[in-house]
Structure 1
Amino acid sequence: MRQLLTISARPRRYCRGMYDVAARERIHELDAVRGFALCGILVVNIWQITDMTATVPSGAAMDPVRHVLSVVVEERFFPIFSFLFGLSFALFLDRAAEHAARPRMVLVRRLIALAVLGLVHQMFQPGEALLPYAVVGLVILLPASALPSWLVLVAGLVGTVGVALTLGGGLALVPGLFLLGLAAERFGLVDELRTWPIAAVFVLALPAAIATAVWQWRTPYLELWTSSIEPIAGLLGAVAYSTALLLVLRTGFGEVLAEVLEPMGRMALTNYVSATALILLAEERLHLGGTTRYPALLGLAAAILLLQAFVSYVWMYWLRYGPLEWVWRCVTWWRIVPIRKPEPEGIASIGLPRR
């Protein structure tokens, strides 16, 4: 299922006509986190799209590999995507307020366009997220953008933790996560994403995520359907994963990792939709449906991610937006938006042809 939006921040502070460097770095980090979430969502989408079996033939227990994936991957990446959708919505609304007389109408058009794409996508992936995202954005997120920040935060906490404890996970968590993302932007998360608070949250979230994951592992499969442990473990895992990645991104290795993840995150909409097509094409040959061939699933996921990482890197080197992102942006602003980047400096010196 990332987010699905590329974050476009408003200029918070100016320095000789340029956006604040620190704020731009935070935007790049969040794009990388979105790309990371895309990787985990793909694994879950494969078994959902192909309708793989979760249990061993007797039906009494989960397949061992699926069991591991359920504890490590399922419900861990979807919350990250949903949170970032709410955050990027707030950033885009701020930007629209600077460039349009009626910024909320720009957002309405943007969400309607997403809903149309979601309707088409649902024909091929019935459990897809684009249409629900658009509906929740129109019904809940857009009206909430006019509320006080503290009220949005409280509603987000109730809609996330309260829903996880009472109704379970999945799409029921989307409204609360959207509101938390909106509140995070309102309280300056993009500007104040410093290392020490991230490390503090990680230190608190990691043991809680491990403890709830162990609890989930030990819970019998049939009891998971009526237990709140899976969504709670998923939320804590999402916090631990995202904060861990943000810390890694600020290391030397993280700079290399960001070169892979950031383009994928900026093309998340294109990658999300194209993954469905690739999964359906692969299923024609692999026939994963009704089986427990989860090692084959992991191989397929790795192949798709490698392909998408390569295409995303090359595409974003030359162009500003992914193909679907560009169409979406053009519909949003109701005009043709430039897609090509200015020619990189020194391009002739490395032997690449000038455009």
Structure 2
Amino acid sequence: MSPQPRITALDVLRGFALCGILVVNVRPIANVDADVLSHAVGADWPGYLADQRFFPIFSLLFGVGFSLMLKTAANRTDRPRLVLLRRLLALLAIGLLHMFVLWRGDILTIYAVVGLVVLLPSTWLPRWAVAVLAGVLLVVPLALGTNGVVLVPGLFLLGSLLTRYGVTQRLERMTWWPATLVFAVLAVPAAWAQSNQVYSAFAVAGLLTAGVYVCGMLALFRTPLRPALQAIFAPLGRMALTNYLSATVLVLLISAVLGGRPDTWSEGTVLLIAAGILAAQRVLSGLWLRHFRYGPVEWLWRYATWLRRPSGERREAPAYNSPSSPSGFVQ
């Protein structure tokens, strides 16, 4: 059984989001003896450009990938939801291991639980009902001024809808500059409100800025910059699960070498740590994918999903621009 080709733009978006998430997570991962850290609202540049800006992208892509996976499973088995159930349970096991062994700020456990409680049941609902539910699960938390993981269910469903309505399949053919401009215009006043310590604006500004990032990257993907974006981010995105987990190990090792309190590290130090890890991961991911179809953790996840040993060797160059792919962290 040969794997479905991948959608290049999703790999690029996933790799881009992985970079931002690591920048945000360096201090919390290293600060193993304290609660998960977060920047004060509007305290410094991460509060405007990174905090709450990249996890929405990952959450959206998880929903996109879930519906793509459902289509793939439906073409291969009479019980596609059972395949998705195994996939989510396997992710839950990986997340719990990551949380209890390495870092209690793990997001995989939350993704798996929300997937089991929200995404999987939503596959029995018509698209319009999922759209209504997604709107409620996004608008209500924003109206209440909450942010963070509370938004994950709505973002999951929104991503799922993008696939169910065929938007995912047209990502690389659509014009994204107008949407980028709209999100940017709306994000400016939201960021201003955040700078004035309006806490309820934090989540809104985060979602709008995430919209700028997603639409902007997709717009750039239709320019001559496409080869560069693909070369930089796609390998990271194709091995997102492996890279997410290995980043925790690398941050902990670097923290042990540097010593001191992570919350006293300068922004420059955080950026250097993140950049060094990402550069190493990009090189290693590229080398690995020259010989294998999947990252090591992705291979295990796929094994648990299909209950059969995947072919690990790469027999041919990956094809792109296909509407579905069963592999990857969120695709």
How high is the TM-score relative to the length of structure 1? 0.82
Which residue of structure 2 aligns with residue 120 of structure 1?
97
Does residue 160 of structure 2 align to residue 160 of structure 1?
Answer: no
- Structure 1 residue 263, shift from structure 2 partner: 1.1
Distance 1:194 1:254, change over 3 A: closer
Which residue of structure 2 aligns with residue 256 of structure 1?
228
Please say if residues 90 and 182 of structure 1, whose CA atoms lie closer than 8 Å, have aligned partners that are also in contact: yes
Which residue of structure 2 aligns with residue 37 of structure 1?
17
Does residue 291 of structure 2 align to residue 314 of structure 1?
Answer: no
Which residue of structure 1 aligns with residue 306 of structure 2?
333
Which residue of structure 2 aligns with residue 96 of structure 1?
73
Does residue 172 of structure 2 align to residue 212 of structure 1?
Answer: no
Q: Deviations over 1:294-321 (max 9, x none)?
A: 2111110110010111111111122111
| Structure 1: runs of 5+ lacking an equivalent | 1-7, 10-18, 53-60, 345-355
Q: Deviations over 1:56-95 (max 9, x none)?
A: xxxxx9699x611111100010000000001100000110
Identity of aligned residues (%): 42
Q: CA RMSD in A?
A: 2.0
- Structure 1 residue 186, shift from structure 2 partner: 0.6
Query: Secondary structure of the residue that 1:335 maps to in structure 2?
Result: coil
Separation (CA, whole Å) in 1 of partners of 2:303 and 2:54: 29
Which residue of structure 2 aligns with residue 347 of structure 1?
none
- Structure 1 residue 167, shift from structure 2 partner: 4.9
Q: For 1:270, which of 226, 235, 242 is the aligned residue?
A: 242
Please say if residues 41 and 202 of structure 2, whose CA atoms lie closer than 8 Å, have aligned partners that are also in contact: no
Which residue of structure 2 aligns with residue 184 of structure 1?
162
Q: Deviations over 1:30-69 (max 9, x none)?
A: 11001000000001111212239xxxxxxxx9699x6111
Query: Secondary structure of the residue that 2:163 maps to in structure 1?
Result: helix
Distance 1:168 1:297, change over 3 A: same
Separation (CA, whole Å) in 1 of partners of 2:208 and 2:144: 16
Q: For 2:114, which of 136, 143, 150 is the aligned residue?
A: 136
Distance 1:196 1:185, change over 3 A: closer
Distance 1:244 1:87, change over 3 A: same
Large movers: runs of 4+ above 6 Å: none
Distance 1:319 1:194, change over 3 A: closer
| Structure 2: runs of 5+ lacking an equivalent | 33-38, 318-331
Does residue 264 of structure 2 align to residue 291 of structure 1?
Answer: yes
With CA pairs under 8 Å and 6+ residues apart, which has the higher RCO, 1 or 2? 2
Distance 1:103 1:320, change over 3 A: same
Separation (CA, whole Å) in 1 of partners of 2:217 and 2:181: 13
Please say if residues 63 and 292 of structure 1, whose CA atoms lie closer than 8 Å, have aligned partners that are also in contact: no
Query: Secondary structure of the residue that 2:169 maps to in structure 1?
Result: coil
What letter corresponds to residue 91 of structure 1 in structure 2? L
Separation (CA, whole Å) in 2 of partners of 1:194 and 1:300: 33
Q: For 1:47, which of 27, 31, 43 is the aligned residue?
A: 27
What letter corresponds to residue 200 of structure 1 in structure 2? P
- Structure 1 residue 218, shift from structure 2 partner: 2.9
Please say if residues 195 and 247 of structure 1, whose CA atoms lie closer than 8 Å, have aligned partners that are also in contact: no
- Structure 1 residue 211, shift from structure 2 partner: 2.2
Instruction: State which structure, 1 or 2, has the greater radius of gyration over its C-alpha atoms.
Output: 1
What letter corresponds to residue 240 of structure 1 in structure 2? V
Distance 1:88 1:292, change over 3 A: same
Which residue of structure 1 aligns with residue 62 of structure 2?
85
Separation (CA, whole Å) in 1 of partners of 2:74 and 2:20: 34
Farther-moved stretch of structure 1 (184-193 vs 234-243): 184-193
Query: What is the aligned residue count?
Result: 307
- Structure 1 residue 289, shift from structure 2 partner: 2.4
Please say if residues 142 and 203 of structure 2, whose CA atoms lie closer than 8 Å, have aligned partners that are also in contact: yes
Query: Secondary structure of the residue that 2:44 maps to in structure 1?
Result: helix
Distance 1:239 1:290, change over 3 A: closer
Which residue of structure 1 aligns with residue 328 of structure 2?
none
Q: Deviations over 1:160-212 (max 9, x none)?
A: 23212215111111100000011111100122225554222112111111221
Please say if residues 150 and 183 of structure 1, whose CA atoms lie closer than 8 Å, have aligned partners that are also in contact: no
Please say if residues 175 and 219 of structure 2, whose CA atoms lie closer than 8 Å, have aligned partners that are also in contact: no
What letter corresponds to residue 65 of structure 2 in structure 1? S
Please say if residues 165 and 232 of structure 1, whose CA atoms lie closer than 8 Å, have aligned partners that are also in contact: no
How high is the TM-score relative to the length of structure 2? 0.88
- Structure 1 residue 214, shift from structure 2 partner: 2.4
- Structure 1 residue 341, shift from structure 2 partner: 1.1
Separation (CA, whole Å) in 1 of partners of 2:300 and 2:115: 19
Query: Secondary structure of the residue that 1:140 maps to in structure 2?
Result: helix
Query: Secondary structure of the residue that 2:168 maps to in structure 1?
Result: coil
